[in-house]
Structure 1
Amino acid sequence: MTRAAQAAGTWMTPTPAEYRDPHYALHPDGTRVERLEDITRLRAAATPDLPAVITADARTTFAELDRDASRVAQALLRDGVTAGDRVCYIGENASSFLAVLFGGSKMGAIPTALNVRLSVPEMEFILGDSEPSVVVLGLGQERLVEAAAAVPSVKRVVTLSPEEGGRHTAGATVTGWDAWFDGVCDEDPGHRRSPDDTALMFYTSGTTGRPKGIELTGANIGQAIAAMHYLLELDTDCVALAPVPFFHVSGFGLALVSVVNGAALLLLNPSGPADLIRILQEYAVTHAVAVPTVIQFLLGQPEVRTADWSALRYMVYGSSPIPEPVLRDATAVFGCKFLQSYGLTESTGGVTMLSPEDHRPTRETAHRLRSAGRPMANVPVRVVDPVTLEDLPPNERGEVLIGGGHVMRRYWRNPAATSAAITPDGWLRTGDGGSMDVDGYLFLHDRLKDMIVSGGENVFPAEIESILTGHPEVAHAAVIGIPSARWGESPFAVVVRTPGSGLDEDALIAWAREQMAHYKCPVGVAFVDALPLNASGKLLKTRLREAYANPR
């Protein structure tokens, strides 16, 4: 990288020499991963008898997964689904999800994954917006049969409920999973779309308005999983667990890279932290993905500190900053390689990486644990003035922009939102505040809209939250700005205490004033049993602002 590029604030990690093709993940035959429909085809040809999916009561080989995908493709064709039609899956992680994902792709449809935690009205909006031809409902989603069948575009609703037979409602046919395949063959229809065509859709969580469909191409996906493909050391002896749902791009990414590399994908949904610990141990999981809140919950379980973690090779985390004290504790307890990835669904997942080496810092590099790592190979990342979009020098805070082949194609049928999110020259505006240090490490400083301006000083809640969670009696903390007659805004903390804690407001504020500049310290603290989260597990600061805008 030239000094001029470094000074301008644009970073792109040089290509590691050992990467065979750093732009793309590669299939077993050496060809590029740039079509979803090819993933099971080529993996099944390479290792047909190895386990692809492990559930509580079954093992599915790669040959069987590929056959199931072909059956889904043939069932969709029989139902009149054509290339470009949407096929929605609503359900927890399951082998049926993968069959619909790869099967829909095999005949040219666009698989669309919906968040199972959404309310029925939210589901109705997304189904109406995406206009699917077929909706597949996983186990436990029977409540949505009528809502899905009522969507005018829907021809068939398929439910995994074993009690469901064939019937008609609201103009759609409702069928059980096994019955859906009656009379269809398992021949691969052989469809192959352009890598630049839309291959998959996710929907935004809708925290700032109506959910938007995010169109990702095959080329997006092939490039996005490339870094994980080469750096996670996945092979045919590995067992990967993604308790993160597949309707989140992080869980989806691990599922894809596991299939590409021939690892077994463990599809179990833990009932809680203790159950997750049991699963990781019982199945000798080698690779796991978790959001920071899950890692923090795990560390709160006494048994996690006495368990044998020798099988665990990698723990991948992301989706939000993780407090430094928690991160240090986690690396000590699990003893495996940790890898952090920052990204958005609009960037097809991770674009920066805090490497395992970065998680073993020296005194001089310990500050990097607070970062989101450096840009992945061939992913340009910039920090710019959010008004002028001019590049900022190192260590100056602005808006994070992402470029290159990871950037989504567009928002589904929403050109106005697409234009607002993607600049004319192809840079994705993340809306995240950040800064880049002289070594190219990205430091996140909250969503721009969450920044607090107190007495003319910019105060970033994530920094305060990281410090507050360093208190031994603080389990979780969220910081918002509240009106101040003197300062304009002041920080206010909403805190979840550790079990049995008697920590009070005055004691925590006094402690905080010893840890940080006084203008950053909370002027008040509210203690709650739990922080409000949306259906995607993201913190709803809008709820906190509504509740505590005038706490005094």
Structure 2
Amino acid sequence: MTRAAQAPGTWMTPTPVEYRDPHYALHPDGTRVERLEDITRQRAAATPDLPAVITADTRTTFAELDRDASRVGQALLRDGVSVGDRVCYIGENASSFLAVLFGGSKMGAIPTALNFRLSVPEMEFILGDSEPSVVVLGHGQERLVEAAAAVPSVKRVVTLSAEGDGRHTPGATVVGWEAWLDGVSDEDPGHRRSPDDTALMFYTSGTTGRPKGIELTGANIGQAIAAMHYLLELDTDCVALAPVPFFHVSGFGLALVSVVNGAALLLLNPTGPADLIRILQAYAVTHAVAVPTVIQFLLGQPEVRTADWSALRYMVYGSSPIPEPVLRDATVVFGCKFLQSYGLTESTGGVTMLSPEDHRPTPETAHRLRSAGRPMANVPVRVVDPVTLEDLPHGERGEVLIGGGHVMRRYWRNPEATSAAITPDGWLRTGDGGSMDAEGYLFLHDRLKDMIVSGGENVFPAEVESILTGHPGVAHAAVIGIRSARWGESPFAVVVRAPGSDLDEAGLIAWAREQMAHYKCPVGVAFVDALPLNASGKLLKTRLREDYADPS
């Protein structure tokens, strides 16, 4: 790919490129990808008998996936779900997720992917905020049945773990997956929405401490699929492994682009690095997505260096920095093409890419391995002064802004947050600090929002702080990220006890693990008499990082 060089004081707009594949961002019939509901329709017509989804004990063809989606759509219509209603899926990656995703789209609902790792109180807030009509609970999510059924908007709770007993709560009926679909027609509901309508929702946490719904349109998704299609070179002979949960836009994106291009999607949940190596080998995986910590775990296994990696074509990573020596080792061991992606859920996933060519540097270009790559085709990226929003010269640090068709529609029912995140002329404020060099490579420095990335999961200090201060023994709390050899970063809390409290570290951590997802829970607590404040009364997290960020 070639892109225009950035002139000093301007932002980087990649020039349109001539794509190798003439069917870039197209369905098999040559129409543009811009509606979720058309994806299985088109692929089932083109390659009905090829495997779409492979699990440990099942293989689902594209024709079967399309019929399953139609049955889900018909079941939702029978349950009184209307166009624009939310349908939530909570569970690990499974073919049922794809059936709900495409089936909900086929009748006009908004599929909403939720983080199954959240605690019950966290999930109660999100379900109350999204107000779904139907909640589908994957295997192992029985703990959420009562919470989901208690939401006033919910008409039906569907569970895959066991057959529902059909019991009626004040507003919802609980039923098993097979019983829910029993006798339902597989006729396509036939809905097609505008590409500019909300097609999908994810939830993310923000600096206010409350999760926010992110509305993505069909056009957003089409843009993301287009970029991934070109970069990953997926085809009908490919097998893609998506161990990253579908509630993450990176895992979800790989699933979509696999279906669009007729590749087989492998849905297995490795139990550890050794099991992941076994899966990659046994299924001749060609494309895999991993967070840097997983790559590090793999390289720590002796068998990884003697295995045959000839089938593996692409390894895509992102979400947190990866040490340069680890990256160099990985390129030698796996021998495949590596891609690094940077993006947000609000930007429909990746917007910059460190290409395979960049992963084979010369001495003069080795520094690029520390970058997040260059903007993808037709994705404008700027680095600006965070106060004035004026563009900064090459090498100067500022806030990263993203423009173009990848930018989300809005935050769900949150106009204030939307206005804060998207400028009047349509630029997404990432809150991430970065700089851009003369060749257009983006270097990420600090995270302006103080976000912690622990094992590939985003942890927002404000959310954790809000929960910790709910403990009666806590007067004030501040959360920072500390270095972790295993997870990259881990949350650490600095706490001021409430008067008369004798709360200790073990007690607070044990309590916190009941209130939030475990990856958000502080791994350590320091008790202090007072938090450091500046003259304006603002917390000095820089001081806390100086004192605690390095556990050594």
Same fold (TM over 0.5): yes
1: distance between equivalents of 2:260 and 2:113?
20
Q: How far off is 1:494 after superposition?
A: 14
Question: What does the per-residue CA deviation read over 1:389-411, in whole Å, with 9 as the maximum and x for residues that have no partner?
Answer: 10000011100000000000000
Q: Is the 8 A contact 1:384 1:398 kept in 2?
A: yes
CA distance in structure 2 between the partners assigned to 1:96 and 1:533 by the alignment: 50
| Cα gap change, 1:290 to 1:466, in 2 (>3 Å) | farther
The answer to whether the 8 Å contact 1:236/1:261 transfers is yes
The CA deviation at 1:164 is: 2.6
Structure 1 CA distance for aligned equivalents of residues 182 and 74 of structure 2: 11
Is the Cα contact below 8 Å between 1:23 and 1:378 reproduced in 2? no
Query: Against the structure 1 CA distance between its residues 110 and 9, is the aligned structure 2 distance closer, same or farther, given a 3 Å change threshold?
Result: farther
1:263-319 CA deviation, whole Å, 9 max, x = no partner?
Answer: 000000111111111100110100000011111111111111111111100000111
Asked whether the equivalents of residues 24 and 225 of structure 1 are also in contact (C-alpha less than 8 Å), the reply is no
Whether the aligned pair in 1 keeps the contact of 2:207 and 2:461 (CA below 8 Å) is no
The answer to whether the 8 A contact 2:293-2:486 is kept is no
SS of residue matched to 1:511: helix
CA distance in 2 between partners of 1:202 and 1:481 (Å): 24
The SS at the match of 2:97 is: helix
- C-alpha contact (below 8 Å) 1:321/1:462 kept by paired residues: no
SS of equivalent residue, structure 1 residue 113? strand
TM-score by structure 2 length? 0.82
- CA 1:388/1:211 → structure 2, altered by over 3 Å: closer, same or farther? same
Deviation at 1:504, TM superposition (A): 26
SS in 1 for 2:71: helix
**Cα 1:4–1:265, aligned 2, differ >3 Å: closer, same or farther?**
closer
Q: Aligned residue pairs: how many?
A: 552
Q: 1:186: which partner in 2?
A: 186
CA distance in 2, matches of 1:168, 1:356: 55
Residue 181 (structure 1) shift: 1.2
C-alpha contact 1:12 1:377 (8 A) present in aligned 2: no
3-state SS, counterpart of residue 203 of structure 1 = strand
Identity %: 93
**Cα gap change, 1:331 to 1:10, in 2 (>3 Å):** farther
Asked if the contact 1:401–1:429 (Cα under 8 Å) also holds between the matched residues in 2, the reply is: yes
Shift of 1:68: 0.1
> For the structure 1 residues 496 and 82, does the alpha-carbon distance in structure 2 shift closer, same or farther, using more than 3 Å as the test?
same
Deviation at 1:40, TM superposition (A): 0.2
Moved more, 86-95 or 157-166: 157-166
Q: Which moved more, 1:108-117 or 1:489-498?
A: 489-498
Q: Using the alignment, how far apart are the partners of 1:241 and 1:537 within structure 2?
A: 49
Whether the 8 Å contact between 2:119 and 2:516 is mirrored in structure 1 is no
Q: Which residue is 2:156 aligned to?
A: 156
Contact kept in structure 1, 2:293 and 2:487, CA below 8 Å: no
> How much has 1:525 moved relative to structure 2?
15
Aligned with 2:482: secondary structure? strand
Is this contact kept in 1: 2:293–2:455, CA < 8 A? Answer: no
* Cα distance in 1, alignment partners of residues 289 and 483 from structure 2: 39
66-75 or 526-535, larger mean C-alpha shift: 526-535
Per the TM alignment, residue 515 of structure 1 is displaced from its structure 2 partner at its CA by 41
1:403–1:88 Cα change, 3 Å = same
> Which residue does the alignment assign to 1:246?
246
SS at match of 1:168: coil
Q: How far is 1:6 from its partner?
A: 2.2
What do the CA deviations read for 1:413-471 (whole angstroms, capped 9, x no partner)?
Answer: 00000000000000000000000001000000020254999999999999999999999
**1:516–1:381 distance in 2 versus 1, CA, 3 Å:** farther
User: Which one is further off, 110-119 or 197-206?
Assistant: 197-206
CA–CA separation in structure 2 for the residues paired with 1:149 and 1:175: 11
SS at match of 1:10: coil
Query: 1:332 Cα shift?
Result: 1.2
Q: 2: CA distance between counterparts of 1:232 and 1:302?
A: 28
Q: Distance in 1 between matches of 2:449 and 2:170?
A: 43
Q: In 2, Cα distance between the equivalents of 1:86 and 1:474?
A: 37
Q: In structure 2, how many angstroms separate the alpha carbons of the residues matched to 1:99 and 1:534?
A: 53
Q: 1:451 to 1:73 in 2, by over 3 A?
A: closer
Per-residue deviation, 1:527: 18
Decide whether the 8 Å contact of 1:23 with 1:226 is kept in 2. no
Structure 1 range deviating more: 494-503 or 285-294? 494-503
CA contact (8 A) 2:354 2:372 kept: yes
**Secondary structure, counterpart of 2:476 in structure 1:** strand
2:46 & 2:36 partners in 1: Cα distance? 16
In the TM superposition, residue 346 of structure 1 has moved relative to its aligned partner by 0.2
Contact 1:10 1:381 (8 Å CA) reproduced = no
Shift of 1:167: 1.7
Say which SS state the counterpart of residue 399 (structure 2) adopts.
Answer: strand
The answer to whether the 8 A contact 1:73-1:107 is kept is yes
- Cα gap change, 1:63 to 1:472, in 2 (>3 Å): farther
Which range moved further: 322-331 or 436-445?
322-331
- Rounded to whole Å, the distance in 1 between the matches of 2:129 and 2:79 is 21
Matches of 2:537 and 2:270 in 1, distance apart? 15
The whole-number CA distance in structure 1 between the counterparts of 2:486 and 2:256 is 53
Within 1, Cα distance between the matches of 2:288 and 2:199? Answer: 26
CA RMSD of aligned residues (A): 10.5
Q: CA deviation at 1:503?
A: 32
* Cα-to-partner distance string for 1:25-69 (whole Å, 9 max, x where unaligned): 211111111000000000000000000000000000000000000
Match of 1:303, SS state, is: helix
Residues 43 and 400 of structure 1: CA distance in aligned 2, closer, same or farther (over 3 Å): same
Deviation at 1:485, TM superposition (A): 29
Aligned-residue offset at 1:183? 3.0
Between 479-488 and 513-522, report the one with greater CA deviation.
513-522
Instruction: Indicate the residue corresponding to 1:309 in structure 2.
Output: 309
Q: How does 1:3-42 map to 2 (within 5 A)?
A: 6-12=6-12, 14-15=14-15, 17-19=17-19, 25-42=25-42
Q: Distance in 2 between matches of 1:382 and 1:194?
A: 29
Could you say if the C-alpha distance between residues 126 and 451 of structure 1 is closer, same or farther in structure 2, counting changes exceeding 3 Å?
closer
Query: Which segment is superposed worse, 252-261 or 457-466?
Result: 457-466
Q: Is the 8 A contact 2:305 2:333 kept in 1?
A: yes
**Aligned-pair CA distance for 1:137:** 0.3
Moved more, 52-61 or 297-306: 297-306
Structure 1 residue 187 displacement after superposition: 0.2
- Partners of 2:499 and 2:240 in 1: how far apart? 32
Pairwise CA distance, 1:472: 43
Shift of 1:142: 0.8
1:174 equivalenced with 2:148 (yes/no): no
What secondary structure does 1:212 align onto?
strand
User: Which range moves more in the overlay, 54-63 or 4-13?
Assistant: 4-13
Q: Which residue of 2 aligns with 1:531?
A: 531
Tell me, what secondary structure is at the counterpart of 1:154?
A: coil
The superposition leaves residues 171-192 of structure 1 with CA deviations (integer Å, 9 ceiling, x where unpaired) of 2000100100123200001100
Distance 1:4 1:36, change over 3 A: closer
> SS state of the match for residue 15, structure 1?
coil
Report the CA distance between 1:510 and its aligned residue: 36
Instruction: Indicate the SS of the match to 2:211.
Output: coil
Secondary structure of 1:350's aligned partner: strand
Aligned residues of 1:12 and 1:376 also touching (Cα < 8 A): no
